């Protein structure tokens, strides 16, 4: 315990000397004064636990004056034997005991010890009483996890229990203390109040990490004195809030008026309150951080397109996010608790799986391509696995993160197909163009005009083929990217069929194929995009001729049916094998037998025809029998007629 401090006031230097010596011998820190005035001056500068004062030096007034700023000080009066009345009065006014001159050192020291002891007991008592509400409070604090209401509760308690006029709680933000809760403080002051560490009363306390009790308006520190005057504070009490040896804030209490100043008991109470508050604040902060962290993680899990699945060390599913639901088709509640291998199949959860690899090495498995067997069938996925460790370094589960790459793989396959088909189709015409150009460059013998014409014709046809191929690819990409702007106009389908026949005339003649159009005579015009309908008719008629045998026949029939135009393109050609039928509208799909027989094409014609029909809200169906022929039936809405002005 710190040494107790005594101030002795006596004008008789003999008595003063005796007191100083005998009390110092008892282990007290003792100061002497020879007048009441001098005593008050000394007591202003330093704190004392006990005042021993001669009654002849206005002892009563001196005691009361010092009590103003040191309310806890114990008073012992020195008096003459005959002054019984004065002794009674002194005791009534709050002195704790008295010694009568002449006294022995023993008497003095036992009186002083008794008085200090009595005060100590009183203090203990007070402390016990203050501990009771604190005990109740700390229970409340620990139950409060909402930081703001906790801070309000702390300032309210501080204010009520110390009868302060103002209370505020400031928390450290960087090097600044910011008011987070207050009572009795005008809100604009509270909002603007910021103390830097080391500045102002709160800053001083935060800087030192020690409580401060200013019982009167005075302080030795001019900076604090100035702050008190500025804020019209009569008495201030400020304690640091300390968590793990680090100041996190301060609790400020102040009294403004003339009433009694804060006492040592108040300081003790507020110090304990501050201790409890600091722990509760830290707990609420950690809780809030944990909640925020949890929300963040939950949002990520909810919103990510990736599948996230957590399994425990038994490989049973403990978490299954919406991304995983979308990819696999399973609903979270139906798979939680089930073994991963049962749900995802052997490649992910089985004996020789990536999960087992993660389990045996205890290390992260970098993303790899696997096949996940979901409810929606097999999906290609890129899967990475990370073991989850507890704080003791033990694996308690695994986190599986995967992306559905089925579509990407399909695109990849298509891309390879495109590259293979397109490069093949580009190379053939380019090769003939190159060959015939070289022949022409080599100068034909005798400048054979006919031969030159033939060569140039081949070059011309091959160039057309190239243009057509590239055009088809471009049309397709435009249609698929949704960039194609449709221009609808009334179209006479009969005329368009006739134009197409004209286009294929030579080709048909070469193969002795006859072309027949059967167009309903009063067929109304359809509202459609000319370019697209052209693509549609051209590709179907072209195919019908291409896949017909020599001497065959191609029919185009157009009829109005309800609100639709039904256009059928019929041939008596080779037909399509039933297994291929569902695929012929896929990009670059060609029936193997037709490709083998050397018939040219890239597998885009039907895709384009289908896109063109669907762009108008129509459709294409196909009926075919191998060796007998095929019939492509297009349905197109006739559409509302707009009179051409
Ligand atoms: P391409 O004609 O360039 O090969 P398409 O997309 O027009 O491409 O046709 C896809 C495939 O469908 C053709 O390769 C062919 O095998 C088959 N096919 C299309 N039309 C017919 C038809 N009228 N008769 C027989 N097979 C056809």
Residues 307-353 pLDDT 10s = 999 999 888 999 999 999 999 899 999 999 998 888 887 777 776 77
Instruction: Say if ligand 1 is within 6 A of residue 630 CB.
Output: yes
Q: Is the peptide bond before 361 cis (omega within 30 degrees of 0)?
A: no
Residue nearest to atom 8 of ligand 1 (CA): 603
pLDDT for the residue numbered 2: 60
Reply yes or no on whether the pLDDT at 142 is more than 80: no
Q: How far apart are CA 254 and CA 166, in angstroms?
A: 5
Instruction: Say if ligand 1 is within 6 A of residue 247 CB.
Output: no
Percent of the chain at pLDDT above 70?
93
pLDDT tens profile 474-518 = 877 777 766 677 889 999 999 999 999 998 998 899 999 999 999
Looking from the CA of residue 585, the nearest atom of ligand 1 is: 6
Percent of the chain at pLDDT above 90?
36
Report the residue among 539, 572, 603, 623 best suited for mutation to probe ligand 1: largest number of ligand atoms under 8 A from its CB. 603
446: left (phi over 0), alpha (psi -120 to 50) or beta: left
Instruction: Say if ligand 1 is within 6 A of residue 590 CB.
Output: yes
Instruction: Say if ligand 1 is within 6 A of residue 542 CB.
Output: no
Ligand 1 centroid, distance to 612 Cα (angstroms): 16
Among the residues of 304-405, which ranges form H helices?
322-328, 332-335, 340-344, 346-349, 354-361
pLDDT for the residue numbered 208: 86
Q: How far apart are CA 25 and CA 22, in angstroms?
A: 5
Ligand 1 centroid, distance to 537 Cα (angstroms): 14
pLDDT for the residue numbered 542: 94
Ligand 1 centroid, distance to 592 Cα (angstroms): 10
The three-state secondary structure class of 552 is: coil
Residue nearest to atom 20 of ligand 1 (CA): 543
Q: Which of 288, 279, 286, 335 is nearest to 307 (CA)?
A: 335
Question: Is the overall model pTM greater than 0.85, yes or no?
Answer: no
Residue nearest to atom 23 of ligand 1 (CA): 544
Query: Where does the pLDDT of residue 645 fall: very low under 50, low under 70, confident under 90, or very high at 90 and above?
Result: very low
- Per-residue pLDDT, averaged over 610-632, amounts to 94
What mean pLDDT value characterizes the chain? 86
Looking from the CA of residue 571, the nearest atom of ligand 1 is: 23
Query: Where does the pLDDT of residue 256 fall: very low under 50, low under 70, confident under 90, or very high at 90 and above?
Result: confident
Instruction: Say if ligand 1 is within 6 A of residue 605 CB.
Output: yes
Instruction: Say if ligand 1 is within 6 A of residue 574 CB.
Output: yes
Instruction: Say if ligand 1 is within 6 A of residue 472 CB.
Output: no
Instruction: Say if ligand 1 is within 6 A of residue 347 CB.
Output: no
Report the residue among 470, 590, 596, 624 best suited for mutation to probe ligand 1: largest number of ligand atoms under 8 A from its CB. 590
Ligand 1 centroid, distance to 610 Cα (angstroms): 13
pLDDT for the residue numbered 216: 61
- Per-residue pLDDT, averaged over 445-470, amounts to 82
Ligand 1 centroid, distance to 585 Cα (angstroms): 9
State the SS3 of 493-539.
HHHHHHHHHHHHHHHHHHCCCEEEEEECCCCCCEEEEHHHHHHHHHH
Residue nearest to atom 14 of ligand 1 (CA): 590
End-to-end CA distance of the chain, in Å? 110
8 A C-beta contact, residue 612 and residue 536: yes
Residue 108's beta-bridge partner residues?
Answer: none
- Per-residue pLDDT, averaged over 67-85, amounts to 84
Looking from the CA of residue 605, the nearest atom of ligand 1 is: 7
Give me the torsion for CA of 54, 58, 60, 66, rounded to 10°. Answer: -90
Residue nearest to atom 19 of ligand 1 (CA): 543
Residues 6+ apart with CB under 8 A from 167: 155, 156, 158, 159, 182, 183, 184, 185, 251, 252, 253, 254
Instruction: Say if ligand 1 is within 6 A of residue 639 CB.
Output: no
pLDDT tens profile 404-453 = 998 888 777 777 766 776 777 778 788 889 988 988 888 666 677 888 88
Reply yes or no on whether the pLDDT at 219 is more than 60: no
Other residues' Cβ atoms within 10 Å of the Cβ of residue 75: 25
pLDDT tens profile 370-382 = 888 878 788 888 9
Instruction: Say if ligand 1 is within 6 A of residue 603 CB.
Output: yes
Report the residue among 426, 507, 576, 623 best suited for mutation to probe ligand 1: largest number of ligand atoms under 8 A from its CB. 576
Q: Which two tokens stand for residue 183?
A: 């009572």
């Amino acid at each position: 315990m710190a040494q107790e401090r005594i101030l002795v006031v006596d004008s008789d230097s003999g008595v003063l000397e005796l007191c100083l010596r005998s009390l110092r011998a008892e282990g007290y820190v003792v100061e002497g004064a020879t007048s009441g005035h001098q005593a008050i001056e000394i007591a202003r500068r330093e704190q004392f636990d006990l005042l021993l004062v001669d009654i002849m030096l206005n002892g009563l007034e001196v005691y009361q004056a010092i009590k103003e700023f040191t309310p806890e000080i114990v008073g012992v009066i020195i008096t003459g034997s005959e002054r019984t009345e004065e002794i009674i009065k002194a005791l009534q006014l709050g002195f704790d005991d008295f010694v009568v001159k002449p006294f022995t050192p023993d008497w003095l020291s036992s009186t002083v010890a008794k008085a200090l002891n009595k005060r100590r007991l009183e203090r203990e008592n007070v402390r016990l009483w203050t501990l009771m509400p604190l005990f109740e409070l700390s229970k409340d604090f620990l139950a409060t996890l909402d930081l703001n209401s906790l801070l309000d509760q702390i300032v309210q308690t501080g204010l009520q229990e110390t009868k302060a006029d103002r209370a505020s709680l400031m928390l450290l933000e960087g090097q600044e203390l910011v008011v987070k809760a207050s009572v009795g403080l005008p809100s604009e002051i509270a909002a603007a109040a910021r103390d830097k560490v080391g500045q102002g009363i709160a800053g001083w306390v935060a800087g030192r990490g020690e409580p401060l009790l200013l019982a009167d308006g005075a302080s030795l520190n001019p900076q604090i004195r100035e702050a008190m005057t500025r804020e019209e504070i009569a008495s201030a009490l400020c304690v640091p809030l300390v968590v793990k040896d680090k100041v996190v804030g301060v609790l400020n209490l102040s009294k403004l008026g003339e009433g009694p100043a804060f006492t040592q008991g108040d300081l003790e109470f507020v110090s304990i309150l501050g201790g409890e508050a600091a722990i509760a604040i830290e707990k609420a902060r950690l809780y809030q951080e944990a909640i925020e962290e949890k929300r963040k993680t939950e949002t990520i899990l909810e919103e990510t397109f990736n599948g996230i699945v957590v399994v425990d060390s038994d490989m049973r599913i403990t978490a299954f996010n919406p991304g995983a639901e979308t990819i696999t088709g399973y609903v979270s509640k139906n798979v939680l608790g089930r073994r991963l291998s049962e749900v995802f199949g052997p490649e992910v959860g089985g004996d020789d799986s990536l999960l087992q690899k993660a389990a045996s090495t205890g290390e992260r498995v970098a993303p790899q391509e696997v096949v996940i067997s979901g409810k929606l069938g097999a999906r290609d996925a890129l899967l990475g696995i990370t073991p989850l460790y507890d704080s003791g370094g033990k694996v308690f589960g695994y986190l599986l993160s995967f992306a559905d790459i089925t579509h990407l793989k399909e695109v990849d396959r298509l891309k390879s197909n495109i590259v293979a088909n397109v490069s093949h189709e580009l190379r053939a015409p380019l090769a003939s163009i190159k060959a015939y150009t070289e022949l022409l460059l080599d100068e034909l013998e005798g400048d054979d005009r006919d031969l030159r014409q033939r060569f140039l014709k081949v070059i011309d046809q091959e160039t057309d083929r190239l243009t057509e191929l590239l055009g088809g690819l471009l049309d397709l990409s435009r249609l698929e990217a949704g960039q194609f702007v449709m221009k609808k106009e009334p179209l006479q389908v009969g005329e368009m069929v006739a134009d197409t026949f004209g286009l294929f005339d030579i080709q048909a003649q070469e193969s002795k194929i006859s072309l027949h159009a059967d167009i309903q005579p009063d067929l109304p015009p359809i509202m459609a995009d000319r370019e697209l309908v052209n693509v549609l008719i051209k590709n179907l008629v072209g195919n019908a001729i291409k896949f017909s045998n020599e001497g065959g026949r191609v029919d185009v029939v157009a009829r109005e049916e309800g609100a639709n135009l039904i256009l059928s393109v019929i041939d008596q050609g080779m037909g399509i094998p039933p297994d291929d039928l569902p695929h012929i509208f896929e990009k670059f799909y060609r029936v193997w037998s037709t490709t083998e027989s050397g018939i040219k094409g890239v597998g885009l014609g039907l895709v384009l025809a289908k896109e063109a029909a669907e762009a108008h809200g129509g459709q294409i169906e196909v009926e075919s029998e191998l060796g007998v022929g095929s019939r492509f039936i297009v349905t197109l809405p006739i559409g509302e007629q707009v009179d051409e002005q």
